Amino acid sequence: MTRNTTWNWQQDDWPQWRFDSQALSGLESRFLLSSGRLLGAWQHLNGDDQSHMKISLLSEEAMKTSAIEGEYLDRESVQSSVRRQLGLGVDRKHRPAESGIAELMVACFEGFGAPLTHETFFTWHQLVCLGRTDLHDVGQYRTHLEPMQVVSGPLQKREVHCEAPSSTAMMQEMKGFIDWYQATSLPALTKAGLAHLWFVSIHPFEDGNCRIARALCEKILAQNLGQPSLLALSYQIEKDLKSYYAALEQNNKTMDVTPWLIWFAETALKAQTYSGAMIDLLIAKTKMMDRLRGQLNARQEKALLLLFDAGPEGFEGGLSAKNYRTITDSLEATATRDLRDLVAKGALRRTGDRKGTRYWLKI
């Protein structure tokens, strides 16, 4: 098995991270400026839309942070779990995986100001692993004797992408990490990115480390801003998963982590842009539905709401007449009449012709 003996934690200056703060200063400034704009847009949402935004964002983040690790959750169950955690829905039975990750997302969103302790991490790990029966250590740092490695390739030619410190060092390593977290003041993106890489390098748990690291980033960003960051971070990471893992791997053998921090900061800014687009879409939805109140039939309203629920990236490929018939269970002539009326009312715009005709929200 390929073995690398120069992981960052094996170096003499561990964990004295080095980075070029000047290279990050512009990104940090952009983040703060955009955060102010995001908050301003958020405050323009009414109470119902703010609740909808919370549910949409936290559900999407729960889905994506799990999908990054190859775990695909039921969307309706996740959304229901998030609503329950926010006190916005009735209690009902949920699968443990959906309930656990939803509770973690809401805890980081609403409880970002709480202190970070060993017990915090143990609770988070219990939530990430809720319902798991295949792990030896749940709600505590790992204790297994074999090396914690991330490997790939056939058995005869295994490649080690990452190796973490021995389980016997976990309490000492995590104490140093938490002490740093509590005592260190750094700009938002720098501290969050550094904490992510450091935590993953230690890999303190038997499983779920990257999900916890991403939750930790949300907590740090919110603490630095003094309010929830409203960031679709896991959504953005999942969109470019290869570069995420490549950036982590390229920076787990060195204490100079400027490239990783730049990658993380740029990704956070993209996530911020997406969150802003989500808020803009909610504002546009409220305005359009208010303007058209009493002018739409049930089919038209259902189709419009579905288009808005598709998010800033929209309904993939646009809405076709065939899609509309399926969504609304309507006949061809009815669908044609409904769609023509929605275009006339300024709710949709039309592109293409004949079978290539597609409809898009006009916002």
Contact of 266 with 258, CB cutoff 8 Å = no
In the predicted structure, residue 127 carries a pLDDT above the cut 90: yes
CB contact set of 279 (below 8 Å; sequence gap of 6+): 38, 41, 42, 45, 53, 230
CB contact set of 234 (below 8 Å; sequence gap of 6+): 60, 61, 64, 65, 68, 214
Q: Does the bond joining 228 to the residue before it have cis omega, within 30 degrees of 0? A: no
All CATH 1.10.10.10 domain ranges of the chain, comma separated, are: 295-361
Name the percent of the chain lying above pLDDT 90. Answer: 84
Strand locations in the chain, DSSP E? 149-152, 159-163, 348-351, 358-361
In the block, which residue shows the tokens 């939750």? 215
Task: Say what the pLDDT of residue 146 is.
Answer: 87
CATH fold for domain 295-361: Arc Repressor Mutant, subunit A (1.10.10)
Task: Say what the pLDDT of residue 78 is.
Answer: 94
In Å, what is the CA distance from 353 to each residue of 102, 211, 323, 357, 359? Answer: 43, 45, 16, 5, 11
All CATH 1.10.3290.10 domain ranges of the chain, comma separated, are: 8-280
Residue 185: pLDDT band with limits 50, 70, 90: very high
pLDDT digits 0-9 by tens, 46-80: 899 999 999 999 999 999 999 999 899 999 899 99
Residue 3: pLDDT band with limits 50, 70, 90: very low
* Rounded Cα gap, residues 326 and 292, in angstroms: 23
Maximum mean pLDDT: which of 11-25, 82-96, 149-163: 11-25
β-strands 159-163, 348-351: how paired? Answer: unpaired
Residue 4: pLDDT band with limits 50, 70, 90: very low
Residue 6: pLDDT band with limits 50, 70, 90: confident
Mean pLDDT of the chain, nearest integer: 93
Burial tier of 268 (Cβ tally within 10 Å: 0-12, 13-18, 19+):
buried
Write phi, then psi, for 11 (nearest 5 degrees): -85, 155
- Report the 10 Å Cβ neighbour count for 88: 12
pLDDT digits 0-9 by tens, 101-126: 999 999 999 999 999 999 999 999 99
Residue 93: pLDDT band with limits 50, 70, 90: confident
What CATH number labels 8-280?
A: 1.10.3290.10
* Model confidence pTM above 0.85: yes
In the predicted structure, residue 155 carries a pLDDT above the cut 90: no
Task: Say what the pLDDT of residue 159 is.
Answer: 74
pLDDT digits 0-9 by tens, 315-345: 788 999 999 999 999 999 999 999 999 999 9
Task: Say what the pLDDT of residue 153 is.
Answer: 63
